Structure 1
Amino acid sequence: MNDSAYRVETAPRLAQWRIDALSSTSFRKSDPFRIGLWNWHLTVERHKHLCVKLYPEVSSLTREQPPIASFVIKLVSTSSPNRRTIVHPGICDKQLKNHDDFVWAVDNFFSGRFIIDVEFLDLKVVPPSGGEPSSIWNSYNIEKRSAATVLISLSRMLSEGIHTDIIINANNGSIGAHRAVLATRSPVFRSMFSHNLKEKELSAVNISDMSFEACQAFLNYIYGDFKADEFLTHRLALLHAADKYDVSDLKEACHESLLEDIDTKNVLERLQTAHLYRLPRLKSSCLRYLVNFGKIYEIHDDFNAFLQNADRELISEIFQEVLAAWRT
């Protein structure tokens, strides 16, 4: 069988697979074809019935944003002049993840050559942030393009100092910023600029407990210019700033990141950080690492020194965890 036997011809919303006559028992799977954001496959199998399946190719995109499809699928005979057609009743807003999500079993089928014709009426995805599914053809790409353009513009406002109206003074340098952006992202900044405080009068905010580099990373995050390397370098300082200025999404991002690489060298620092900034999952993970996995014995001297200066409430929690582990 030549390669063209597996090729599916496509238009923007249409796919057609032309198939020669099938034997009484046969199976055929098409080459992948592109419709919308995904690669797709069709399969056709003949035993007692003819069975047609349509599904997206397995990929990270399919797992994270499976298509929610509406389509009309037909079988069209091309062996006779009158082109007999069998039409599926139609599929509306069906999520397709794998090869068992859409199966069409046809009882009364014709012989000879035929076409599997799929017309996609709509393809939707659930936005990464959640909410109602939206069409990739109506608004999805426009929204993505608009959001990307806004982020680029915000980044340029900061990096090029376009019409800045506030100065952020770190402990070793200053950065121009914009009151409106800061106030939008932080209720603390909003309060500063809304009342007759010195920050409003002087058009300056002193953040003397942050280095210039950490402060730059903080502003980059606020302006949507996220850089992974600087985030990892400054995440403890960023956590402090996020807590101080009530930037909740940044605080949660730092929390998630600190959970990912706990080890014997940093677990005591992470435990103190979790207690200081009220991060329950980080605290629980550190205590589990120390107690349940027995790492407390590997850093015995450091742990004893830690207890000399730790908060009493934290010490109590540690010993409760140790006692609970002994009971089990």
Structure 2
Amino acid sequence: MNESAYRVETTSRLAQWKIDTLSSCTYRKSDPFRIGNWNWHLTVEKNKVLYIKLYPVISNLTRESPPIASFVVRVFCSVGNRHTLIHPGVTDKQLKNIDDFVWSIETPLSGKFIIDVEFLDLKTTSPNGGEPCSIWGEGFSQRQSNATVLASLGRMLSESIHTDITINASNGSIGAHRAILATRSPVFRGMFSHNLKEKELSTVNIPDISIEACQAFLNYIYGSIQHTEFLTHRLALLRASDKYDICDLKDACHESLIEDIDTKNVLERLQIASLYQLPRLKEGCMRYLVKFGKIFDIRDEFNAFLQGADRDLIAEIFHEVLSAWKGF
């Protein structure tokens, strides 16, 4: 059997193992694959019943901080009419060894099938105790610099300390500081450095953003944004970061949008990636749709998407589909 038979393909939160065939009384273990902070294995064991197991590779990290996982497992079988078996799902279960998650399937499976594991969340226990924390929130918090300085900047915004510029959103206004805005954005700096109406009137009009999203935008600039606030307003923040040339915010939005691609948002994310020139997001959406076969799960939505999508984007999608078929 070739080496690819044991390889598990992954995105940031999705693992997929394609198995050509399993004879009776067979045991097979995948190569290790990485999701989050841990390396993982999938195993299948076929006797009278098919057993699927998911567990982390034993290591010092696993012993000291075993993952607390929430995920859904699906099995796609391609013999005859395509059908899907879906595990009810696992929520906040600590996984330490090979017996912590076992799915027994009594339905006979033959021919090619795919094991698909979608991780909804991965948590780890804090060394100081307390509630487990999601690892997908850590990267955002780690990007925050000196906490004292950021807290001071946040107070300047929240308490309107010596504000000298007014931001008019679509449904409200917020006071801000032109020096901070100019430092963070070359577009704002240009507005305040030349004899433009923004400099003369001490106002900036942003009519395409709500007051809530504008507050999140300013909170990011001042270093006081909360992770939940960031997630809620990611798309508006992406538009604002592109418009005002704030590269680190655009990069943060780009990375975050890659992390939770699913069937409900993949087509929207694909359009966003094309519009704002986000190559890694586009690649992630393409892989999810084509390589992982999710295009078949959203046929109606995909057909509707094709009616209004950009022609160049449609051409890229079909190029990916044709390339995948050639390699199948």
What range describes the TM-score normalised by the shorter chain of this pair? Answer: 0.5 to 0.7
The 5 Å alignment of 1:59-208 reads 147-208=146-207
SS in 1 for 2:173: strand
**CA 1:59–1:292 in structure 2 vs 1: closer, same or farther (change >3 Å)?**
closer
Which string of whole-angstrom CA distances, capped at 9 and with x for unpartnered residues, describes residues 179-218 of structure 1? 0000000011001111111111110001111100000000
State the alpha-carbon separation in 2 of the partners of residues 148 and 299 from structure 1: 44
Which string of whole-angstrom CA distances, capped at 9 and with x for unpartnered residues, describes residues 58-91 of structure 1? 789xxxxxxxxxxxxxxxxxxxxxxxxxxxxxxx
What TM-score do the two structures reach when normalised by structure 1? 0.56
Counterpart of 1:295?
294
Counterpart of 2:213?
214
SS in 2 for 1:258: helix
The 5 Å alignment of 1:229-240 reads 229-240=228-239
State the alpha-carbon separation in 1 of the partners of residues 298 and 151 from structure 2: 46
State the alpha-carbon separation in 2 of the partners of residues 305 and 313 from structure 1: 16
State the alpha-carbon separation in 2 of the partners of residues 265 and 310 from structure 1: 17
State the alpha-carbon separation in 2 of the partners of residues 188 and 323 from structure 1: 42
SS in 2 for 1:174: strand
Counterpart of 1:305?
304
The amino acid across from 2:286 in the alignment is L
Counterpart of 1:274?
273
Which string of whole-angstrom CA distances, capped at 9 and with x for unpartnered residues, describes residues 274-300 of structure 1? 001100000001011111111111111
* Structure 2 gaps, min length 5: 1-59, 63-143
SS in 2 for 1:263: coil
SS in 2 for 1:175: strand
State the alpha-carbon separation in 2 of the partners of residues 235 and 153 from structure 1: 24
Alpha-carbon shift at residue 151 of structure 1 (Å): 1.1
State the alpha-carbon separation in 2 of the partners of residues 286 and 217 from structure 1: 26
The amino acid across from 2:182 in the alignment is A
Identity percentage of aligned residues: 76
The amino acid across from 1:269 in the alignment is E
State the alpha-carbon separation in 2 of the partners of residues 59 and 319 from structure 1: 42
**CA 1:59–1:154 in structure 2 vs 1: closer, same or farther (change >3 Å)?**
farther
Counterpart of 2:109?
none
Alpha-carbon shift at residue 147 of structure 1 (Å): 2.8
**CA 1:290–1:159 in structure 2 vs 1: closer, same or farther (change >3 Å)?**
same
State the alpha-carbon separation in 1 of the partners of residues 317 and 167 from structure 2: 39
State the alpha-carbon separation in 2 of the partners of residues 272 and 162 from structure 1: 40
The amino acid across from 2:293 in the alignment is G
State the alpha-carbon separation in 1 of the partners of residues 301 and 146 from structure 2: 48
Alignment of 1:257 onto 2:293: no
State the alpha-carbon separation in 1 of the partners of residues 191 and 306 from structure 2: 38
State the alpha-carbon separation in 1 of the partners of residues 321 and 61 from structure 2: 44
The amino acid across from 1:304 in the alignment is N
Counterpart of 2:135?
none
Alpha-carbon shift at residue 226 of structure 1 (Å): 2.1
Larger CA Rg, structure 1 vs 2: 1
Counterpart of 1:317?
316
SS in 1 for 2:318: helix
Which string of whole-angstrom CA distances, capped at 9 and with x for unpartnered residues, describes residues 201-257 of structure 1? 110001111100000000000001020111010000001101111111111111111
State the alpha-carbon separation in 2 of the partners of residues 301 and 322 from structure 1: 17
Alpha-carbon shift at residue 157 of structure 1 (Å): 0.5
SS in 2 for 1:259: helix
State the alpha-carbon separation in 2 of the partners of residues 152 and 59 from structure 1: 33
State the alpha-carbon separation in 2 of the partners of residues 59 and 245 from structure 1: 41
For CA contacts below 8 A with separation 6 or more, give which structure has more relative contact order: 2
Which string of whole-angstrom CA distances, capped at 9 and with x for unpartnered residues, describes residues 23-70 of structure 1? xxxxxxxxxxxxxxxxxxxxxxxxxxxxxxxxxxx789xxxxxxxxxx
What TM-score do the two structures reach when normalised by structure 2? 0.56
Counterpart of 2:241?
242
Number of aligned residues = 191
SS in 2 for 1:168: strand
Alpha-carbon shift at residue 153 of structure 1 (Å): 1.1
SS in 1 for 2:301: helix
Alpha-carbon shift at residue 149 of structure 1 (Å): 2.1
State the alpha-carbon separation in 1 of the partners of residues 262 and 318 from structure 2: 20
State the alpha-carbon separation in 2 of the partners of residues 296 and 148 from structure 1: 44
State the alpha-carbon separation in 2 of the partners of residues 324 and 317 from structure 1: 11
State the alpha-carbon separation in 1 of the partners of residues 226 and 286 from structure 2: 30
